[in-house]
Amino acid sequence: MTKIIHAYIHANKQILTKTFTALGIFFFIISMTGCADGEKESVFNAELDSSRSFLILSTEKASVEYEEALRESRKLHPEARSEIFNPYELSSLESALKEITPYYVQVFILPQELDVNFGWKWLTMCSRLDEDPFIDTRTGFITGASPKAAADFVKRISKAVSGELRIPAKMIDNLGPNMQAGENSFHKFSHSNFVPVLGKAMELETLSHGTGGISQKHLDSMSRAGILHFGGHGHPGQIDNGMTAEQILETDFSPCVCFSGACYTGVVGKYFEMFGPDGIITEKKVEKDGSFCLNLLQNNVIGYLASLHPDHGMPVYQEMEHMSLKGASLGEVIKYTYDGVVLGNEGRLPDFENLSNGKASPQWTPTEIMLKGTASRVLFGDPSLRLLKPLPVEKPLEITVDLEPEKLIIGAIMNNPEYKAIFTDTYHDYLAFRKNMFNDRVLFSVNLPSGFENPSSVRVLGAANGPNRIKHRLHAWSVEKDGGKHFLHVQVDLASQGFMKSEWRNAGAAVGIEVTK
């Protein structure tokens, strides 16, 4: 292991920061060492990944009410197969999906048919299409406040792909309310602490405001962005102390892909409050015109990733980094999140309870709450839509594979510490600098060579930053069969010394893995 590590040690990089707390774990960088900007695009060029199989599904009711939207989708995907299914009985659909094995699935569904119970059942079904625990499709949902809204959503995606809509090459990170700032304050910064690497290819801007919400005069601060993030706590109708569903309709958004880490901001109808004062679950409903999500889907959005249940806000940044790293389609982005849930849950998909009104609140641990909340994240839009090409920067990890007769020696070397969120285990604190914060992690996948498709064991040989050993634990590993190949997914957790700070986050730090045939 020592040879593996020290062969790849580079000069350490150190980011100098001055931080202050803003809504729990949120921090602004007030001063930091800048990174040289390369040539930046002025617009994003949206395209569809037509190289993969595509299946169009509609619920029985949506097949009638969303006829126009379905017609528009078939224009975008003329070779796609179409099927109708019963959302309350997925067993027959599961059999069909095992036969069809689609890479992308677009699901047309009415708001009253989509809630967290359906989301979890869909995820569970899609993990059973083969023998491994990973999700076997890349799914996007199409819904709307009305049939016209659903059709307009698909038409907007089509216009983005044709180039008729101009998508600004800018990311705005709206962190939401800062509990330590003045009630009516408003701050804007020309960088991002959470996804600074995106600044290599686009303009970045971070916003925050006081607990009095975002004022009408500042709504235009969220225009002219092709990628938009909403942070903070949330409910189906608003970001708490922040943007409301009504304000969403009043904001002049540019055509954009939106990401929300705020709880419940993907809810389009029924939802559940989990831990009431009486220790029971309470079923509630948001009206269509009061839904943050449905209003957003009417306002120039071409894709939206958000949660049907409480979420904890960090995986959304991992989604943005993964999208930029791989040039991933939106369907591949949401699958990356689900894969992270599987590995975070020690190599298996969590068991999901069916939530109902009056049922006793479950006795979940904090980790279970976060894992199941993140598993409720969904994509609204076309899963084959690709907004970005891979960033023109050094990749975050250098992976080396030494092939021996009976084992593989894999080195994961930190190559670019400007990536931040993907090196954070957002579910566990057993190696964190303090309780209720996060471990660091290294998570990677390797295409297994012939003879190693079903390894008997995986172990960590060690982790170090130069002469400094890093405390670590093999958190999970599992093999995924996808497209005729076998991919080994490994997550090693590492000790953190602060929020997004550790020995691991230095160029040249390395983790060694041994895989036995």
* Interacting residues of 264 by C-beta distance below 8 A, sequence separation 6+: 234, 235, 236, 271, 307, 308, 309, 310
Angle between helices 116-127 and 91-100 (to 10 degrees): 40
For strands 170-177 and 203-209, give the pairing. Answer: parallel
Distance CA 502, CA 492 (A): 14
Q: Which one, of 43, 44, 74, 42, lies nearest residue 57 by Cα? A: 74
8 A C-beta contact, residue 156 and residue 184: no
The model's pLDDT over 418-433, given as tens digits with 9 standing for 90+, comes to 999 999 999 999 999 9
Residue with tokens 């894969």: 339
Distance CA 449, CA 467 (A): 32
Q: Tell me phi and psi for residue 3, to 5 degrees.
A: -65, -40
Residue spans of the chain under pLDDT 70: 1-39
CATH class of 2-14+391-516: mainly beta
Residue with tokens 């120039």: 300
- pLDDT computed for residue 81 by the predictor: 98
- pLDDT computed for residue 8 by the predictor: 24
* Interacting residues of 150 by C-beta distance below 8 A, sequence separation 6+: 66, 68, 69, 108, 142, 143, 144
Domain boundaries, the chain: 2-14+391-516
Distance CA 364, CA 373 (A): 11
- pLDDT computed for residue 30 by the predictor: 30
The model's pLDDT over 15-68, given as tens digits with 9 standing for 90+, comes to 222 222 333 333 333 323 333 445 677 999 999 999 999 999 999 999 999 999
Q: Which one, of 374, 392, 252, lies nearest residue 316 by Cα? A: 374
Q: Which one, of 443, 441, 459, lies nearest residue 496 by Cα? A: 441
